[in-house]
Amino acid sequence: MVEDELAHFDKSISEFGSKFRNTLSDTPSQTVGLRDAYKDSIKALSEKLSVKLKEEERMVEMFLEYQNQICRQNKIIQEKKEHLLKLVAEVKGKKQELEVLTTNIQDLKKEYSRKKEAIATANKANEERLKRLQTSADVYKDRLGLEIRKIYGGKLQFIFTGIDPKHPETPFMFSLHLNEARDYEVSDSAPHLECLAELQENVRKTNNFSAFLANVRKAFTAMVYN
């Protein structure tokens, strides 16, 4: 805009010069009039240019202010972007930790299910074994004078009678249960049998429980006659 005004100013000067040359032969009063007109024209143009310059200065100031605002906004945006990237990284890390934790929980659940199933299977087997023993109680009672009772701690108590001819009702007993290894474990014999540990080891190897009971009865009988 300033360049346009300067070009217009040059054009006005040229036109004024042409008029001035054409009127050199005129009267002095005309020359004075032209000079005054020239001054007025210069003054008006100067004022106009001054206004334009001030407008340009204001526009430059506004541009610089806008530029500063843009810089500040860009800085804020960059800071927010960096903060957001940090949050994304933290969320990603937490997600990975959660995935690892979830995997561990799933593994623990599977392990628990396997152990639970194994325990259930073992308990079922134990119940079946104890049930078979209980079912055989009547047979043992008739043949060996044996009574089987279920007592505390999940144990079975085996009570023999008819061993001592002088006192056939005298009880000879021992207790039996299955340990954590699912083996027979014999205890609490009354009267005490020295060979009880040997008989226990033998029944664990052979798994012949009928022979075990017969051998225990023989041991009690031998004790009486000895």
Give Cα 113 distance to the centre of its chain.
21
Alpha-carbon gap, residue 225 to 221, rounded angstroms: 6
- What average pLDDT does the segment 34-57 reach? 79
Kindly report each contact of residues 212-221 with a partner whose C-beta sits within 8 Å and lies 24 or more positions away, as own/partner: 212/184, 213/140, 213/144, 213/146, 213/158, 214/144, 216/158, 216/160, 216/174, 217/144, 217/146, 217/160, 217/163, 217/172, 219/193, 219/195, 220/160, 220/163, 220/172, 220/191, 220/193, 221/163
Q: Report pTM.
A: 0.41
- pLDDT higher than threshold 60 for residue 142: yes
- What average pLDDT does the segment 136-144 reach? 65
Q: What phi and psi values does residue 202 have, to the nearest 5 degrees? A: -70, -45
Q: 174 pairs with which residues across the strands? A: 158
Alpha-carbon gap, residue 213 to 38, rounded angstroms: 146
Region of poorest pLDDT, from 11-15, 30-34, 119-123, 210-214:
30-34
Q: What's residue 23's pLDDT?
A: 63
pLDDT in tens, 54-103: 888 888 888 888 888 888 888 899 888 888 888 888 888 888 888 898 99
- pLDDT higher than threshold 70 for residue 5: no
- What average pLDDT does the segment 10-38 reach? 66
Residue 193: which pLDDT band, with cuts at 50, 70 and 90? very high
Residue 160: which pLDDT band, with cuts at 50, 70 and 90? very high
pLDDT in tens, 116-139: 888 888 778 767 776 776 666 666
Region of poorest pLDDT, from 6-10, 20-24, 167-171, 183-187:
20-24
